[in-house]
A and B are shown apart, each in its own frame.
Chain A
């Protein structure tokens, strides 16, 4: 984690600048806030997954003369932001309001609703007659399948038959017209997604919070009542640099993968890592990040751990940031 320091914010200095927006402090032509880190993930389907749109088919996008499965950012971010809220609730240091229903009443402090999760994932709320905007420190990209769509989706046909094994409904004297096709992404499908920050806006505890939130397998997409846990997340690596690089677009990664081996998780991780490390100053291998995640999860499950202390110490700093800025 120490190597990441030049690209992260300092938790005890979130509010060093005076919030009076004199233009000298707002934008100055010197490189004071350079830094971008990208957490590159492979989302592996471990049960049927449904990422769909208005049609019943899986959402896709045309790229490199082919169609690829596309999961828009919210398909993942929504679930993970929710997990972040649950983590804060478990520790009793935030997540007071339901997700997407941030409400502030007159006379409340903004920190009554805004917490570390807000800092990491972004939010906004109406306050009096103003809107308080907090931009997300971490941007989610689309998740794109590594293989063309025709290789990673399947469908099943459903009909609602009667108990006697026919389609004939004896009560209404009609054949059932409840016939439809269910499309799903096949287990074993790999999707690449990039979570990135721009500028030194994410403190180290924020990064830990993010790693905890994306670290566990979960149920994503539609119809999870049928499939349950359906995505396992693998970390390709964490890449940092002064400037954001074009290669951190999942579409560019897909282009780079053409002609390389990406058939299984290990091969895909190795190929993606090779593409990414060439363009970045700071490179941390996925296995190391995965080890951090394991440690973080273990620390979270143990009460009174150092991680819990860190969360508790960060809370007043984060509260101060929101209260001072939005007063």
Chain B
């Protein structure tokens, strides 16, 4: 991996959601960050590096990230915001109704057909860094749009910017068999290290292969 550091400023152009946290009656998104994995995969898709098929391969993040020419830090924001909950309906009865077995379960109240999601609004700005690759120089674009979130409905505009300090995801490091100290445990796949200068972060991620 080359020793290139590209600071990234990412702005949401549409709301996006993940089922990150369980809350009463549904799920909420973690409002303060975009994970490094979302950034890496989103960028690979935008730069045309994914296979051109709608069928997905078996899930193996290590295999896929190893093949990418970059590693990334987590994108963080200083002003986390969430939209109010949106109600979603599990619409299974529209055609053909339920099978008898499911009907019994529904009648006992064991199927939640209404649930809520909470999205990160548009106009939130995140910053982080990409290591080993400069996608802007490579593609000749001043900005790139990547897709993140459920159903890839969240559009994120990436622009180059100067970044001093970043947080890495220790869970990604663990995939590559490296241990980093964790300052904040958010989810199993999102474990933040403390802030570190980008140069140190570059040294750390250069070992992820």
Contacts and interface: CB of A to CB of B under 8 A. Distances in A.
Interface string B14-51: 11000000000000000000000000000011111111
Nearest to A243: B141
A23 B61 CA distance: 12
Contacts of A245: 145
Given A54-B85, A59-B86, A21 B122 contact: no
Given A201-B53, A321-B55, A26 B147 contact: no
Interface in A144-199: 198-199
Interface in A115-168: 119, 122, 133-137, 139-142
B71 to A, nearest CB: 14
B56 interface: yes
Contacts of B53: 14, 17, 201, 321, 325
Q: Is the interface of B mostly helix, strand, loop or mixed?
A: loop
B26 to A, nearest CB: 10
Given A26-B67, A101-B96, A246 B13 contact: yes
Q: Which interface class (under 10, 10 to 19, 20 to 34, 35 or more) fits B?
A: 35 or more
Contacts of A54: 85, 87, 116
Interface stretch (B72-80, B151-159, B162-170, B183-191): B151-159
B55 A31 contact: no
Interface string A14-55: 100100010101111111111100000000000000000110
A17 B51 contact: yes
A17 B153 CA distance: 27
A72 interface: yes
A28 B13 contact: no
B50 A199 contact: yes
A100 B64 contact: no
A76 interface: no
B144 interface: yes
A32 B145 CA distance: 18
A98 B64 CA distance: 34
B91 A100 contact: yes
A198 B46 contact: yes
A245 B46 CA distance: 11
A31 B86 contact: no
A199 B87 CA distance: 31
B50 A249 contact: no
Contacts of A25: 51
Nearest to A59: B86
B48 A63 contact: no
Contacts of B110: none
Nearest to A62: B121
Given A53-B86, A82-B95, A32 B15 contact: no
B86 A72 contact: yes
Interface string A47-91: 000000110000101110000000011100010001000000000
Contacts of A32: 48-49, 52
A326 interface: yes
B64 A27 contact: yes
Contact of A29 (B46, B52, B69): B69
Contacts of B116: 54
Contacts of B63: 21, 23, 26
Contacts of B55: 133-134, 321-322, 325-326
Contacts of A326: 55
Interface in A293-325: 321-322, 325
Nearest to A14: B53
Contact of B15 (A61, A122, A252): A61
Point out which of B57, B66, B155 has the most chain A C-beta atoms below 10 A from its C-beta: B155
Given A62-B121, A139-B153, 9 more contacts: A23-B63, A27-B51, A34-B48, A99-B95, A100-B94, A135-B54, A141-B14, A199-B52, A246-B157
